[in-house]
A and B are shown apart, each in its own frame.
Chain A
Amino acid sequence: MPDQSLSYGSAAILHAVASGRRFGFDIMDATGLTSGTVYPALERLESRGFVRSKWEDEAAAHAEGRPARRYFTLTASGATALKAALERYKALRPIPGLAAERS
């Protein structure tokens, strides 16, 4: 059985993804974590199968006058891991940014 436990930061990021923050900038905004934490963590979470990523349609992005984004979504195993993590970190201080989460 692979290790399902998440670090504090990873749990916060997963929580953000679960609540609809789908790309780097938005996740940083929600969690208050730095780019140097969020981006590597997303790669790690993807390699562990907790999130999946997909590139947005290039044309659609350009129509909005911005570059295309790499969107992240939660997988089923990611949802399980997040549930366990929220259980574990419940007793601690609220994760930065999550208190103001729109769900």
Chain B
Amino acid sequence: MFRVHPWLSTRLVAAAARGVPRDRRDEFRRQWIAELAHYAQWLERSGESHARLRLLARAAGAIPHAIQLRVLHWSPRMLGQDLKFAWRMFVRRPAFTGVAVLILALGIGANTTIFSWMQRVLFSPFQGVTRQDRLLAVNGTSRTRDNMSVSYPNFVDLRAARPDGVADLMAFRILPLNMRMDGEPIRVFGELVTPNFFDVLGVTPALGRGFRAEEGTTPGRDPVAVITDDLWRRRFGADPSVVSHVLTLNGQPFTIVGVTPPGFHGSAAALRLDVFVPMTMQPAVMAGNRLTQRGNSWLEVYARIADGRTAADASAGLTVVARQLEQAYPDANRDRGARAVPLWRAGAGALLFPVFGILMAMVGLVLLIACANVAGLLLVRAAGRQREIAVRLAVGASRARVVRQLLVESLLLSAAGCAAGLLAAHWASGLLNVFVPRTPYPVGFDSGLDARSIGFAMALSAAAAVLAGFVPALRASRPDLIVTLKTTSASTTGRRGRLRQVLVAAQVALSLVLLVAASLFTRSFTRAGDIDPGFTIRDGVLASIDLLPAGYDETRGAALLDVLIDRVNALPGVAAASVGRSVPLDFASGSDMNVDVDGYTPRDGEEVNAAYNQVGRGYFDTMGILILSGRAFDTRDRAGATRVAIVNETMARRYWKGRDPVGGTVRFGSGPVTIVGVAKDGKYQRLNEEPRNYLYLPVQQSYRPDTVLHVRTTGSPSAVLPSIQAAIRALDPNVPLFDIRTVEDHLAISTFIMRIAASMLGLFGTLGLLLAAVGLYGVVSFNAAQRSREIGLRVALGAGRAQVAGLVLRDAMTVVGIGLAAGLALAFAAGRLVASQLTGVSGSDPVSFAGTAALLAAVAAGACVVPAWRAASSNPISALRGD
């Protein structure tokens, strides 16, 4: 005889068997008993460990098996019947159908919109690029940082070593370009790319060709360019003979050899880049020759994972090669490694990911609220169909058959909701662009839904159908036949009524979470204005200048900047003017370097690293940055004089420990640099960053041809702008000002992400609030109708209207109260999760919690008062007469 197997496994099979269609159930049981007996025997013979667990795991297979039999049993013909019947039911109740579809459409549409944004920005950010999930961003690493660029010699060696698991590697660098065809130069953004750039991305030019391998070998030899379809249409009128045209980039002639297919705009998420030139042309379009310096990291690198290999394989392969490069070039590559990360953790994705994650979770809540709402509606409707369902059960329909019918009805509802939601999402997918502030970069997000977003919406609506429909279907088909057939619908409340109340409480709880999140982010957005960024300039103009294409060398360029600062300073309406290479709070990662501080011995493994900015004299006055000790830069600080720098408070505190840094020295590159001042700390990249090391260098000693003119104005910035432009033109008509923006515009960039979060969460919070109010209204009306006899009796016996309304209201508000309590607990948990994304408010901000709870309670009371009052005003005679 075979052994008796453990109890749990047999129970599991027995439970699964209950779901199997009756005619197959016996066979199902026999088959599984045989299977388990066999396996138990085998387990015993082979002496495997955890035999009981293994047996249980095997028994678990009975569940999908039972589901499969159930699905096969449900033939297409029956599905057709169910659909036809469901359709008839909906047409008969257009108001119910319309409301349910609208609610589901809102939920599904909101989710699909956010999903499509994530898809566009994070998971497949580059239009026209094949298999983006097989691309990895390769970052350089040091002991303290893991998101560094890569130098050209290191890239070349990395690629030549053919890392295991990697099909190919390419490198690029985004750069602004002055493009001239005929007439005025225009500003475009482009990329310096390795010749295999298009191959690795899987992009085939629509016109002409991409780059040839030999165009990446000899510096300066191949002035060729590929342009985007967009630029081709915008600037060349879609002229098919554009190939072999010559255009000028930063003063150098380039021959157009190809046009990319429509939609493609480069390899940076959310940026629209227009021109591509071979890497070896770098010295022609950028300052300095960066192609030979191993220590100069300035490239971004993407790797395509080899077919049949995983991201982990590729990452491991790259790490191995990076280690070899460290050993081969110990000077330039000490402690330098490489790390491959998915695209969404590089660039714009890394900034937006947390916010999108929060938005996705919040729209998930909106959908849950929508489902609870529709479930409530279905329960109400099922109550109206009790007799129909009871009759069906009485004449022999199985419960499963009735449940299936009801589920098909909710599927049909959610399918309609899905279609409407997709339409809404299609329109809303481009809304992200509304939030984009004016930046010097060509930021733009694609709109429209891709196949994955559509699939997501469909999967979501199927889930919503089950979520909203399953419990009501089970409840409606409960075979307490006799009771139902005997009685009228008016007196059956009991458990069904309680379930509706649970659903309403859940809606209240979830919408409170939404509202709290919305309030936290809105308050964080408004608080951002109170954060001290370390500078006081508010009215002013920023404009970029690039002296390289205008043909200036270092000596002439530095001289021009000197004169330019004086000329602009002398203009009426200008309070102060200067230049600086980077403007604080623009999210750009900026430049940093390793610094040796004389007299400071780093701890083992510590790296002294500081971000830096090359600024002109008068910069601190223009920006309103306080000099706390020593002096600001002035005319003394010029090329050939003692090299000087100004440190910020954080550096002074960390490396001089209470002593005055003025007079101290630091070293980077070559020779000592004397500290002449300490500047007040500021926010350099983003408002919620930690204090960081910062160094200011005089532009006259650390020359940069690309810089930004900073002007503080006494009045309206736009009034002063024409005279600034005229002054520059008078100086040299070949030096254009571009990316002109006000300081106010610029500061909007720093709050861009917070603004997306605050606006969208505000919208979702409102949506959740509305849905909860609608749900509450419906349930209170229904419950009052169910109790109309009781209410009629009370009124007949002399109860006042207010008294009766109070009774109904009290019941409803108890449910709301429970929902609020649960919602507060959930919101506290959610607040902790989002705290890192907030600025100036804590995750448990009492104002947000108390304010939204009060708002929700008020709206809920409003939604209850109307039906309560109506119930109390009904004529007691007709209510008592009833039917």
Contacts and interface: CB of A to CB of B under 8 A. Distances in A.
Contacts of B65: 35-36, 39-40, 43
Contacts of A44: 68, 72
A3 to B, nearest CB: 14
Interface string B454-482: 00000000000000000000000000000
Interface string B788-828: 00000000000000000000000000000000000000000
Contacts of B27: 55, 70
A38 B30 contact: no
Interface stretch (B36-44, B161-169, B377-385, B668-676): B36-44
A34 interface: yes
Q: Which 5 pairs across A and B sit closest by C-beta, in order of nearness?
A: A35-B61, A40-B68, A36-B61, A39-B65, A67-B34
B785 interface: no
A39 B68 CA distance: 9
B23 to A, nearest CB: 13
Interface of A: 23-25, 34-40, 43-44, 47, 55, 65-70, 93
Nearest to A70: B31
B599 interface: no
22 contacts: A24-B31, A25-B38, A34-B57, A34-B61, A35-B60, A35-B62, A36-B61, A36-B63, A39-B31, A39-B65, A40-B68, A44-B72, A55-B27, A55-B30, A66-B34, A66-B38, A66-B41, A67-B37, A69-B34, A70-B31, A70-B34, A93-B308
Nearest to A44: B68
B31 A25 contact: no
B308 A39 contact: no
Contact of B35 (A35, A37, A55): A35
Contacts of A47: 72
Interface in B1-54: 1-2, 27, 30-31, 33-35, 37-39, 41-42
Interface in B658-681: none
Contacts of A66: 2, 34, 37-38, 41
B334 interface: no
B653 interface: no
A47 B68 CA distance: 11
B861 interface: no
Given A24-B31, A36-B64, A65-B1, 10 more contacts: A24-B35, A36-B61, A37-B61, A37-B64, A39-B61, A43-B65, A43-B68, A43-B69, A66-B37, A93-B308
Interface string B123-139: 00000000000000000
A40 B42 contact: no
Interface residues of B, number: 27
A12 B822 CA distance: 50
A32 to B, nearest CB: 13
Contacts of A23: 34
Interface of B: 1-2, 27, 30-31, 33-35, 37-39, 41-42, 57-65, 67-69, 72, 308
A41 B30 CA distance: 18
A43 B63 CA distance: 13
A67 B61 contact: no
Contacts of A39: 31, 61-62, 64-65, 68
Contacts of A93: 308
A35 B38 CA distance: 13
A38 B32 CA distance: 12
A65 B63 CA distance: 27
B863 to A, nearest CB: 46
A70 B65 CA distance: 15
Given A36-B60, A40-B65, A43-B68, A67 B308 contact: no
A39 B64 CA distance: 8
Given A25-B42, A67-B30, A69-B34, A35 B72 contact: no
A17 B59 CA distance: 21
A25 B36 CA distance: 9
B258 to A, nearest CB: 33
Contacts of B1: 65
B545 to A, nearest CB: 57
Nearest to A34: B61
A69 to B, nearest CB: 5
A40 B64 CA distance: 6
A36 B62 CA distance: 7
A47 B21 CA distance: 15
Nearest to B38: A25
A9 B69 CA distance: 18
Contacts of A25: 35, 38-39, 42
A44 B68 CA distance: 8
Contact of B30 (A35, A43, A68): A68
A25 B39 CA distance: 7
A70 B27 CA distance: 9
A10 to B, nearest CB: 12
A38 B61 contact: yes
A45 B278 CA distance: 55
A67 B1 CA distance: 9
Contacts of A35: 35, 57-62, 65
B60 A67 contact: no
Contacts of A69: 34, 38
Contacts of A70: 27, 30-31, 34
A55 to B, nearest CB: 8
Contacts of A34: 57-58, 61
A55 B33 CA distance: 14
A67 B39 contact: no
A68 B60 contact: no
A16 B42 CA distance: 19
Nearest to B67: A40
A67 B2 contact: yes
A13 to B, nearest CB: 13
Contacts of B34: 23-24, 66-70
Contacts of B308: 93
Contacts of B64: 36-37, 39-40
A38 B64 CA distance: 10
A37 B65 CA distance: 8
Contacts of A43: 65, 68-69, 72
A67 B33 contact: yes
Contacts of A37: 61, 64
A55 B2 CA distance: 18
A37 to B, nearest CB: 8
Which has the most chain B C-beta neighbours within 10 Å: A43, A47, A65, A68? A43
B52 to A, nearest CB: 15
Which has the most chain B C-beta neighbours within 10 Å: A35, A37, A65, A67? A35
A65 B39 CA distance: 14
A36 B66 CA distance: 10
Nearest to A68: B34
Nearest to B37: A67
Contacts of B59: 35
Nearest to A25: B38
Contacts of A38: 61
A34 B56 CA distance: 12
Nearest to A67: B34
A6 B62 CA distance: 22
Contacts of A24: 31, 34-35
A23 B60 CA distance: 18
A41 B2 CA distance: 27
A2 B68 CA distance: 20
Nearest to A47: B72
Nearest to A41: B68
B390 to A, nearest CB: 34
Which has the most chain B C-beta neighbours within 10 Å: A47, A66, A67? A67
A35 B30 CA distance: 15
Contacts of B57: 34-35
A51 B39 CA distance: 23
B699 to A, nearest CB: 59
A68 B30 CA distance: 8
A37 B31 CA distance: 15
A55 B39 CA distance: 18
A100 B178 CA distance: 65
